[in-house]
């Protein structure tokens, strides 16, 4: 049972997340042979206040 974790900054719409999930599941099906029923996708949304890049805080 493949489990895919996606971490991204919060702010995407429900439709965007649903589209992402469909594409991820399709890629897992294609490249592993797993059925879509066996694939779990977990989206962790990170608050913009908790992001820093290149040593700079962006909150």
Give yes or no for a contact between 51 and 10, defined as CB atoms under 8 angstroms apart.
no
Query: pTM to 2 decimals?
Result: 0.85
**Superfamily designation of domain 3-57:** Macrophage Migration Inhibitory Factor (3.30.429.10)
The stretches of the chain forming alpha helices (DSSP H) are 14-32
State yes or no: is 2 an active-site residue.
yes
One digit per residue, pLDDT tens: the chain, 59 residues?
999 999 999 999 999 999 999 999 999 999 999 999 999 999 999 998 999 999 998 77
Residue whose pair of structure tokens reads 């919060």 in the numeric block: 10
- Report how far apart the first and last C-alpha atoms of the chain are (Å, whole number): 37
Per annotation, catalytic residue among 1, 2, 4, 12: 2
């Amino acid at each position: 049972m493949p489990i895919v974790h996606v971490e991204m900054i919060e702010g995407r719409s429900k439709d965007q997340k649903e589209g992402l999930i469909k594409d991820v599941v399709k890629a897992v099906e294609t490249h592993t042979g797993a059925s879509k029923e066996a694939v779990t996708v977990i989206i962790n949304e990170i608050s913009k206040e908790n992001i820093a890049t290149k040593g700079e805080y962006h909150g």
